[in-house]
Amino acid sequence: MDRNAPTRSSRTRQQTARILGWAGVLPFAAWTLVAWTGAPDWLEELLTGYGILILAFMGGTLWSASLDRPDESEAPLVASIILVLAALPATLLPTVSAALLLAVLFALHWTAEYLWVRGSQPGWYRRMRLGITSAVVTLLVLNTLIRLGGG
């Protein structure tokens, strides 16, 4: 193996994170489309589960930043667990309520990141997270409004 050969693709981690982050918004867009067009219950349940999984995954941002700063508050660690536990009832709620609950929890997660860990995150990541969270919350609220309007 040639030591001078590139060991990874020309795509940077930043580019990969952006692609994966924004691709993760697509199921939320699909969920909103489903609210408008109608879909089988199993698909709505699957999309609710996806929302909960993503919220749990995002809890890792609070953990990693908190663990890198051992002299600071443990609040981000606790908040990440509380947010995920608060999302669990979404599995039992009607879709309209589940979407609204998840919208609130994603907004709270972003707020927790902003309050406690933004200093340890690079600027491009903070901007990306704001954009992605704004898109997800908007889509979930739109989903709720479509359902409440009988759409």
Strongest mean pLDDT among 34-43, 102-111, 116-125 = 102-111
Residue 40 has which token pair? 């089988």
For the chain, the maximum distance between any two Cα atoms, rounded to a whole number of angstroms, is 62
Polymer length in residues for the chain: 151
Q: What is the pLDDT of residue 119?
A: 83
More confidently predicted of 8 and 78 = 78
Give me the DSSP letters along 106-139.
HHHHHHHHHHHTGGGS-HHHHHHHHHHHHHHHHH
Q: CA-CA distance, 81 to 124, in Å (whole number)? A: 26
- Average confidence score pLDDT of the chain: 89
pTM for this model (two decimals): 0.87
8 A C-beta contact, residue 108 and residue 62: no
Q: What is the pLDDT of residue 30?
A: 92
Once rounded to an integer, what is the mean pLDDT over residues 40-51? 90
- What band does 139 get if pLDDT is binned at 50, 70 and 90? very high
Once rounded to an integer, what is the mean pLDDT over residues 24-52? 90
Q: What is the pLDDT of residue 9?
A: 59
8 A C-beta contact, residue 141 and residue 100: yes
Q: CA-CA distance, 121 to 86, in Å (whole number)? A: 25
Once rounded to an integer, what is the mean pLDDT over residues 62-78? 87
Residue 108 has which token pair? 């709270």
Q: What is the pLDDT of residue 147?
A: 87
Q: What is the pLDDT of residue 64?
A: 86
8 A C-beta contact, residue 121 and residue 58: no
Q: What is the pLDDT of residue 118?
A: 85
Residue labelled with tokens 């940077």: 12
Q: CA-CA distance, 44 to 29, in Å (whole number)? A: 12
More confidently predicted of 73 and 84 = 84
Sketch the domain layout of the chain as residue ranges.
13-148
8 A C-beta contact, residue 141 and residue 114: no
